Structure 1
Amino acid sequence: MASTTPTTPKTITKEIVTEMGNILRIFSDGSIERPKQSPFAPPSLNDPNTGISSKDIQIPHNPTISSRIYLPKITNPLSKFPILVYFHGGVFMFESTFSKKYHEHLKTFASQANVIIVSIEYSLAPEYPLPTCYHDCWAALKWISSHSNNNINNPEPWLIEHGNFNKLFIGGDSAGANIAHNIAIQAGLENLPCDVKILGAIIIHPYFYSANPIGSEPIIEPENNIIHTFWHFAYPNAPFGIDNPRFNPLGEGAPSLEKLGCSRIIVCVAGKDKLRERGVWYWEGVKNSGWKGKLEFFEEKDEGHVYQLVKPESESAKIFIQRLVGFVQE
């Protein structure tokens, strides 16, 4: 009988097949890493520093949408608070409502503004290419709005007991600001459940772009432009490419900004942000569109993109939060 020699199992080499800076790495085995992702932070009841309670919830959808809800300290059981539905940033490909960066920021804002916040964990690209995130966020907003008449399956008690649906806000930073704009557009075209209306939209350092540069933006060939690369990776089949109405709200075929479905908007920009020009461009577009609401503008000239998250203890971040507190409490 011939002897057999055991064979050594082949080692499968895991190689990077796609790399998007320090934002995303896709490996040959299909796994994905997000190196820039900030660490997870758990929710907590009665935070000792702010009095805020937070918990994670599941919004019915297919599949379900995870979210984190923040409730101000209750001193009167009949208290009703404004509601802010928040969309985080991260070029549609990374970051999380459960990250320490966003958890600390939203906890601080909820305590100072005395507002309930529902932060949406929408689906990320490339696992879920755009427009999935927009559908997630609209579904989440519809579910939240359905609490206004207490006629909903799997209700969230904090919303029913303490939510003021006459003061419903949406907001986000960077890609989240892009989402907030698109949700406001959809709210102008389609009614929310129970005829709930969005009172205000908070647009922070918005992530918009177009094929043609504006203002002081440099002329860069598309193949060398990282914004083109990110957009096409997040939304590979986008009609009109970089000029898709989701990304270019002033482009041909985009819904008129006159249709924005809210009564008030604040657009926030930062002087050292590479996206500053786009924020100003959007603000001017809304101002000149014929939209009938109240439009506000806020700029911090000496700071960069999402400085309120990067440097939360800075004086600029504190001033920024107070400006948004004023917007919500007005």
Structure 2
Amino acid sequence: MDPTAKEVVKEVPGLIKVYKDGSVERLLCSPYVPPSPEPDPETGVSSKDITISENPSISARLFLPKLITDHQKLPILVYFHAGAFCLESAFSFLHHRYLNALVSQAKVVAISVEYRLAPEHFLPAAYQDSWAALQWVVDVELSKKDPWLFNHGDFDRIFIGGDSAGANLAHYVALQAGTQGLKCGVKILGAFLSNPYFWGSKSPRSDQRPPIDHHDKSVPSLIWDLVYPSAPGGIDNPLINPFGAGKPSLAGLGCSKILVCVSEKDELSDFGVLYFDEVKKSGWKGEIELFEVKGEGHLFHIVDLGKENSKILIKRLASFLA
């Protein structure tokens, strides 16, 4: 056996290690859980897994809340999970539990997209998968393949949303929808971006907060280098840093309303606030709102679903989707 086979060639401490032999060790992932075709006893939400594409491999978990009538039509949420583009899953315990809670309160049909992860599939694979999944959902002919979506989804009320890396993906598909359009003439009504993963070489509010020491060695920078090592412009690539000259105009976002949620103690929060400010200044014609949760860190509401602030945030997201 090659003595260097298990040599670590790249890592983000505490999150993920990539070895010389090509193997990957994910240090921070919640376990897989199966779907629940029968209603979840706590939330009343049913779930099942579907295949969107065989090549590339894109799947999803569908969530259906308890229905009042057999013919009830509900808003459709296309959701992109968190996990730094390299961790977690639509089928993981944390995201399954979170979507159960959100779907139960918001009364939406949700499609949680299982996009390909880095480093086995470097970016922009996740962006391509997310766009393909949204196009599949809005294609009415294709959606007939799934009775939950076809019978109970209201295609006049399409939402997209995500947390952290998933919020970044939601931003990307909203831009794509604005510039390319969606199949069947479908429009996105709204998008929520919760604890969005945007970053750049300069801190956006260095005049108000201490500058970030060793910015290129920060966790968000290390993650980006791992998941997209060939990114033109590095940490200032438009996919991770959509602000400034030469970037696609935020005025082109293809939705009618946006909710940006940030957490006070999240190191990404300044970029989330900057996103809110830049969209407002861009000339975009929709309605945008900023919602800040005090005293909490990154993805607190997914990791600790039962705490009071988590309930407050999920209630706000549900209100936005209603």
> 1:135 Cα deviation (Å)?
0.4
8 A contact 2:82–2:162 mirrored in 1: yes
> 1:41 Cα deviation (Å)?
1.2
Task: Please report the RMSD computed on the Cα atoms of aligned residues, expressed in angstroms.
Answer: 1.6
> 1:99 Cα deviation (Å)?
0.7
Cα deviation, 1:234-283, whole Å, max 9, x if unaligned, reads 11111111111111111332111111000000000011111111111000
- Per the alignment, residue 172 of structure 2 pairs with 182
User: Of 129, 139, 148, which aligns to 2:132?
Assistant: 139
**CA distance in structure 2 between the partners assigned to 1:211 and 1:177 by the alignment:** 20
8 A contact 1:16–1:25 mirrored in 2: no
User: Of 25, 42, 60, which aligns to 2:34?
Assistant: 42
- Per the alignment, residue 281 of structure 1 pairs with 274
- Per the alignment, residue 55 of structure 2 pairs with 62
Q: 1:197 to 1:221 in 2, by over 3 A?
A: same
- Per the alignment, residue 6 of structure 1 pairs with none
**Does residue 1:108 correspond to 2:98, yes or no?**
no
> 1:218 Cα deviation (Å)?
2.0
Cα deviation, 1:134-166, whole Å, max 9, x if unaligned, reads 00000000000002xxx2387211111110011
8 A contact 1:174–1:207 mirrored in 2: yes
- Per the alignment, residue 30 of structure 1 pairs with 22
**CA distance in structure 2 between the partners assigned to 1:213 and 1:120 by the alignment:** 31
**Does residue 1:231 correspond to 2:224, yes or no?**
yes
8 A contact 1:187–1:260 mirrored in 2: yes
> 1:74 Cα deviation (Å)?
2.5
**CA distance in structure 2 between the partners assigned to 1:153 and 1:196 by the alignment:** 13
**CA distance in structure 1 between the partners assigned to 2:142 and 2:84 by the alignment:** 33
- Per the alignment, residue 123 of structure 2 pairs with 130
Comparing 220-229 and 291-300, the one that deviates more: 220-229
> 1:33 Cα deviation (Å)?
1.3
> 1:114 Cα deviation (Å)?
0.6
| TM-score computed with the length of structure 2 as normaliser | 0.94
**Does residue 1:161 correspond to 2:172, yes or no?**
no
Aligned ranges 1:1-330 → 2 under 5 Å: 14-17=5-8, 18-44=10-36, 45-147=38-140, 151-152=141-142, 155-215=145-205, 216=209, 218-329=211-322
> 1:11 Cα deviation (Å)?
7.8
8 A contact 1:206–1:275 mirrored in 2: yes
SS at 2:139's partner residue?
helix
Query: Unpaired segments of 5 or more residues in structure 2?
Result: none
**CA distance in structure 2 between the partners assigned to 1:242 and 1:294 by the alignment:** 29
Comparing 212-221 and 307-316, the one that deviates more: 212-221
| TM-score computed with the length of structure 1 as normaliser | 0.92
8 A contact 1:243–1:251 mirrored in 2: no
> 1:13 Cα deviation (Å)?
6.7
**CA distance in structure 2 between the partners assigned to 1:160 and 1:11 by the alignment:** 53
> 1:19 Cα deviation (Å)?
2.5
Structure 1 residue ranges (4+ consecutive) displaced by more than 4 angstroms after TM superposition? 10-14
SS at 1:152's partner residue?
helix
**CA distance in structure 1 between the partners assigned to 2:219 and 2:259 by the alignment:** 27
The letter of the residue matching 1:185 is: L
Query: What is the identity percentage for the equivalent residue pairs of Structure 1 and Structure 2?
Result: 49
> 1:288 Cα deviation (Å)?
0.9
The letter of the residue matching 1:35 is: L
